Amino acid sequence: MLTETVHSYLEVRRACGFALKSQGASLRSFAAFSDARGKSHVCIDTAIEWAALARNIPRRARRLGEVIRFARYALAEDPHHEVPPPVFGTSWSARPIPYILSTEEIERLIQAAARSGKIPFRRETYSSLFSLLACTGLRVSEAIHLRYDDITPDGLVIRCTKFRKSRLVPLHSSAIAGLNRYLDRRRPYAPCDDHVFISVVGTPLLSKDVDIVFHDAAVKIGLPLGPGLPRPTPHSLRHTFAVRALASCPDDRDHITKHMLALSTYLGHAKIANTYWY
């Protein structure tokens, strides 16, 4: 059964540190589709038929691309598998140009968050969150999953994140002071929940809510928004941190190499190539 081969493939990839949540669901769907048609191996026609069920061409290309990568793995073990051609085009899209915030824009963005909504604690939560993202370059998911025990005298412990890698993120004394001010206000709201950032009802923040508050703040301060323009998002704070860190590096080969390696580790990148992208 193709389902068993998919299970084996996912186990191998996940052992290498890949989460493969959406890809896993897609491949299991493809395996079920093939099994229903009596196909125990990857078949070109079946793969194209399954991928074509997506609503648009880019999504069809991504679905078929997932099958192609799986088929190459399966073919190494069994020559009866077929590797489909990329008939819908490449499954890789160009990485969008990031929006790099100026220092003034970051300050205005945090101020706008500090004035958003009617509940003071909500304002403090999002202004503190955006401040932490700006001065550490954390991913939003990493920040909203922080717990009390992750705050140590040496910095923030970021546990098993995007690539199942834990790391320590040192904090400047000003960042520690700001975080402590927020925690003093936060503790009475949900004493039984140890998440650092919580909503006004005492539950952990959701990334979609962070996106909404960021977008509203971006509109209020007049950040450029529209088709064809780099899009400001909460992740822009991470991009901006990375670019500023690289701009501060001395301009010689040895310093750049060491700086790149240090920044890649600090940001939690799986490959240093992801840091060189900046």
Catalytic positions are 139, 162, 235, 238, 269, 278
**Phi, psi (rounded to 5 degrees) for 74:** -65, -35
Query: What are the tokens at 257?
Result: 């190499």
Residues 6+ apart with CB under 8 A from 223: 99, 105, 109, 232
- Spell out the long-range contacts of 28-36 with Cβ–Cβ below 8 A and sequence spacing 24 or more: 28/3, 30/2, 30/6, 30/63, 30/66, 30/67, 30/70, 31/1, 31/2, 31/3, 31/5, 31/6, 32/3, 34/2, 35/1, 35/2, 35/3
Interatomic CA distance for residues 157 and 180, integer angstroms: 16
Q: Which of 77, 45, 40 is nearest to 64 (CA)?
A: 45
Q: What amino acid is encoded at 277 in this protein?
A: W
